[in-house]
Amino acid sequence: MDGFIKSSIVRRGDVTCPIAMAATVLSDQWTVIVLRDIAFFNQRTFGAILENNNEKIPRPTLANRLKRLCDIGLLAARSDAKHAQRKVYSLTERALGLLPVMVGMGNWTLSQEDMKAPEIEFLRALSGPESQAMKKFIDKLRITHAVN
Protein backbone atom coordinates (compact mmCIF):
# COMPACT_ATOMS: atom_id res chain seq x y z
CA MET A 1 0.00 0.00 0.00
CA ASP A 2 1.39 3.39 -0.83
CA GLY A 3 2.34 5.82 1.92
CA PHE A 4 -0.35 8.37 1.06
CA ILE A 5 -3.22 5.93 1.55
CA LYS A 6 -1.67 4.44 4.69
CA SER A 7 -1.12 7.87 6.24
CA SER A 8 -4.67 8.95 5.40
CA ILE A 9 -6.04 5.91 7.23
CA VAL A 10 -4.00 6.66 10.33
CA ARG A 11 -4.15 10.47 10.24
CA ARG A 12 -7.78 11.50 10.12
CA GLY A 13 -8.24 15.13 11.08
CA ASP A 14 -5.77 17.10 13.11
CA VAL A 15 -4.78 14.51 15.71
CA THR A 16 -1.99 16.02 17.77
CA CYS A 17 -2.21 13.91 20.94
CA PRO A 18 -0.54 10.47 21.03
CA ILE A 19 -3.46 9.01 23.01
CA ALA A 20 -5.91 10.30 20.41
CA MET A 21 -3.75 8.76 17.67
CA ALA A 22 -3.80 5.39 19.47
CA ALA A 23 -7.58 5.68 19.78
CA THR A 24 -7.77 6.29 16.02
CA VAL A 25 -5.73 3.16 15.30
CA LEU A 26 -7.62 1.01 17.83
CA SER A 27 -10.90 2.62 16.86
CA ASP A 28 -13.31 -0.17 17.67
CA GLN A 29 -13.62 -3.38 19.64
CA TRP A 30 -13.11 -5.59 16.58
CA THR A 31 -9.62 -4.26 15.87
CA VAL A 32 -8.40 -5.23 19.33
CA ILE A 33 -10.26 -8.55 19.28
CA VAL A 34 -8.79 -9.57 15.91
CA LEU A 35 -5.28 -8.70 17.15
CA ARG A 36 -5.99 -10.67 20.35
CA ASP A 37 -7.14 -13.75 18.43
CA ILE A 38 -4.05 -13.70 16.22
CA ALA A 39 -1.53 -12.95 18.99
CA PHE A 40 -2.81 -14.89 21.97
CA PHE A 41 -4.84 -17.68 20.35
CA ASN A 42 -2.81 -18.24 17.16
CA GLN A 43 -5.84 -17.88 14.87
CA ARG A 44 -4.01 -16.70 11.77
CA THR A 45 -6.43 -17.28 8.89
CA PHE A 46 -9.79 -15.69 8.10
CA GLY A 47 -11.56 -19.02 8.65
CA ALA A 48 -9.80 -19.76 11.93
CA ILE A 49 -10.63 -16.34 13.36
CA LEU A 50 -14.24 -16.53 12.17
CA GLU A 51 -14.76 -20.06 13.53
CA ASN A 52 -13.04 -19.61 16.90
CA ASN A 53 -13.94 -16.03 17.80
CA ASN A 54 -15.98 -16.02 21.04
CA GLU A 55 -17.54 -12.66 20.22
CA LYS A 56 -18.95 -13.96 16.90
CA ILE A 57 -17.48 -11.28 14.66
CA PRO A 58 -19.56 -10.95 11.48
CA ARG A 59 -17.85 -12.16 8.30
CA PRO A 60 -17.89 -8.75 6.50
CA THR A 61 -16.61 -7.00 9.63
CA LEU A 62 -13.73 -9.46 9.92
CA ALA A 63 -12.81 -8.96 6.26
CA ASN A 64 -12.83 -5.17 6.72
CA ARG A 65 -10.74 -5.28 9.91
CA LEU A 66 -8.13 -7.63 8.45
CA LYS A 67 -7.74 -5.35 5.43
CA ARG A 68 -7.51 -2.24 7.61
CA LEU A 69 -4.97 -3.86 9.95
CA CYS A 70 -2.83 -4.75 6.92
CA ASP A 71 -3.28 -1.25 5.47
CA ILE A 72 -2.04 0.47 8.64
CA GLY A 73 0.85 -1.92 9.08
CA LEU A 74 -0.27 -3.93 12.11
CA LEU A 75 -0.65 -7.15 10.11
CA ALA A 76 1.02 -8.64 7.07
CA ALA A 77 -0.76 -11.17 4.87
CA ARG A 78 0.87 -13.86 2.77
CA SER A 79 -0.55 -16.71 0.71
CA ASP A 80 -0.73 -20.04 2.47
CA ALA A 81 1.63 -22.54 0.82
CA LYS A 82 -0.93 -25.32 1.42
CA HIS A 83 -3.94 -23.47 0.04
CA ALA A 84 -3.50 -20.82 -2.67
CA GLN A 85 -6.69 -18.89 -1.85
CA ARG A 86 -6.04 -18.71 1.90
CA LYS A 87 -4.04 -15.91 3.51
CA VAL A 88 -2.01 -16.29 6.68
CA TYR A 89 -1.90 -13.16 8.82
CA SER A 90 1.19 -12.25 10.81
CA LEU A 91 1.77 -9.60 13.43
CA THR A 92 4.24 -6.89 12.50
CA GLU A 93 6.70 -5.25 14.88
CA ARG A 94 4.20 -2.43 15.17
CA ALA A 95 1.53 -4.88 16.40
CA LEU A 96 3.93 -6.63 18.77
CA GLY A 97 4.39 -3.29 20.50
CA LEU A 98 0.66 -3.23 21.27
CA LEU A 99 0.61 -6.53 23.15
CA PRO A 100 1.60 -5.06 26.54
CA VAL A 101 -1.06 -2.38 26.03
CA MET A 102 -3.68 -5.05 25.32
CA VAL A 103 -2.69 -7.01 28.44
CA GLY A 104 -2.91 -3.74 30.38
CA MET A 105 -6.41 -3.17 29.01
CA GLY A 106 -7.40 -6.61 30.28
CA ASN A 107 -5.86 -5.93 33.69
CA TRP A 108 -7.66 -2.61 33.93
CA THR A 109 -10.98 -4.35 33.23
CA LEU A 110 -10.27 -6.93 35.95
CA SER A 111 -9.64 -4.12 38.44
CA GLN A 112 -13.08 -2.58 37.85
CA GLU A 113 -15.84 -3.98 40.07
CA ASP A 114 -18.59 -3.31 37.56
CA MET A 115 -16.68 -4.72 34.57
CA LYS A 116 -15.52 -8.08 35.86
CA ALA A 117 -14.70 -10.52 33.10
CA PRO A 118 -13.31 -14.02 33.59
CA GLU A 119 -9.56 -13.86 34.07
CA ILE A 120 -7.45 -15.59 31.44
CA GLU A 121 -4.77 -17.40 33.41
CA PHE A 122 -1.85 -17.08 30.99
CA LEU A 123 -2.26 -13.30 30.84
CA ARG A 124 -1.32 -12.99 34.53
CA ALA A 125 2.30 -13.97 33.79
CA LEU A 126 2.43 -11.42 30.96
CA SER A 127 1.40 -8.57 33.26
CA GLY A 128 3.49 -6.00 35.02
CA PRO A 129 6.24 -3.64 34.05
CA GLU A 130 9.28 -5.33 32.56
CA SER A 131 7.55 -8.74 32.50
CA GLN A 132 10.09 -11.33 31.39
CA ALA A 133 7.23 -13.60 30.32
CA MET A 134 5.94 -10.84 28.01
CA LYS A 135 9.40 -10.35 26.51
CA LYS A 136 9.73 -14.10 25.86
CA PHE A 137 6.21 -14.25 24.41
CA ILE A 138 6.93 -11.38 22.00
CA ASP A 139 10.28 -12.94 21.01
CA LYS A 140 8.47 -16.22 20.25
CA LEU A 141 5.87 -14.39 18.14
CA ARG A 142 8.64 -12.52 16.36
CA ILE A 143 10.01 -15.90 15.23
CA THR A 144 6.69 -17.61 14.40
CA HIS A 145 5.29 -14.61 12.53
CA ALA A 146 8.66 -13.71 10.91
CA VAL A 147 7.65 -10.39 9.39
CA ASN A 148 10.38 -7.93 8.51
**pLDDT at res. 71:** 95
Contacts of 21 (CB under 8 A, 6+ apart): 10, 15
Distance CA 53, CA 65 (A): 14
pLDDT given at position 124? 81
Q: Would you give per-residue pLDDT tens digits along the chain (148 residues)?
A: 455 545 555 555 666 788 888 888 887 889 999 999 999 999 999 999 999 999 999 999 999 999 999 999 999 999 988 888 899 999 999 999 999 999 998 888 888 888 877 878 888 888 877 789 999 999 999 999 986 5
- CATH (residue range 3-145): 1.10.10.10
Distance CA 49, CA 37 (A): 7
Indicate the domain borders of the chain: 3-145
pLDDT value of position 67: 97
| Beta carbons within 10 angstroms of residue 103's beta carbon | 23
pLDDT score recorded for residue 86:
92
- Read off the pTM: 0.83
**How far from 61 is each of 52, 71, 98, CA to CA, in Å?**
15, 15, 21
